[in-house]
């Protein structure tokens, strides 16, 4: 989960399908009605002031090359210990607003999230190393807790950045 929340794609070593991966979508606190592709969701957003919150969700890239939105792991997938990051998976960063000048306090939020995501990326990679596995369990637990907190913090900053441009 830490890798997903940090913006990475993950897959299971035990999956038989070729090229399968999972990614997390951050969602939006207020997605405009016109951005919904589903007519029912669009109508709901329009009826509720022109926007609607979208909760974070996972998506799956299938073996057939499709994207399955709203994917949830099966019980065995959720309990598996063979999850791994996908090598070509850069940390996804929230796009900086273009062609507008932001107030200094908003630019600081963007800069802060960029710095945080860079640190989170390094920590996420460290959690997959042999060196990490040699640490005592209490320290491993603290580092996992730190990673979760940093990912949550990055998510809050991302929501704020999205709100700057809406």
For 83, the enclosing helix (H) or strand (E) is: strand 83-85
**pLDDT surpasses 90 at 138:** yes
What digits encode the pLDDT tens for the residues 43-79?
A: 998 998 888 888 888 898 888 888 888 899 889 888 8
Domain map (residue ranges) of the chain: 1-81, 93-166
Report d(CA 127, CA 140) in Å as an integer.
8
* Average of per-residue pLDDT across 107-119: 84
Instruction: State the number of CA atoms in the 13 A half-sphere of 157 facing the CB.
Output: 25
Report d(CA 121, CA 154) in Å as an integer.
11
Report d(CA 100, CA 52) in Å as an integer.
25
């Amino acid at each position: 989960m830490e890798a997903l929340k940090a913006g990475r794609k993950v897959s299971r070593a035990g999956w038989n399908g070729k090229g399968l991966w999972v990614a997390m979508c951050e969602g939006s606190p207020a997605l405009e009605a016109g951005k919904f592709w589903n007519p029912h969701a669009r109508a709901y957003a329009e009826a509720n002031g022109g926007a609607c919150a979208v909760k974070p969700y996972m998506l799956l890239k299938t073996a057939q090359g499709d994207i399955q939105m709203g994917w949830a792991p099966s019980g065995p997938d959720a309990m598996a210990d063979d999850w791994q990051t996908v090598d070509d998976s850069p940390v996804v960063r929230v796009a900086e607003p273009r062609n507008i000048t932001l107030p200094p306090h908003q630019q600081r939020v963007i800069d802060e999230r960029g710095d945080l995501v860079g640190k989170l990326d390094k920590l996420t990679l460290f959690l997959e190393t042999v060196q990490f596995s040699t640490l005592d369990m209490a320290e491993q637990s603290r580092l996992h807790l730190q990673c979760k907190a940093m990912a949550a913090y990055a998510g809050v900053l991302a929501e704020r950045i999205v709100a700057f441009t809406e």
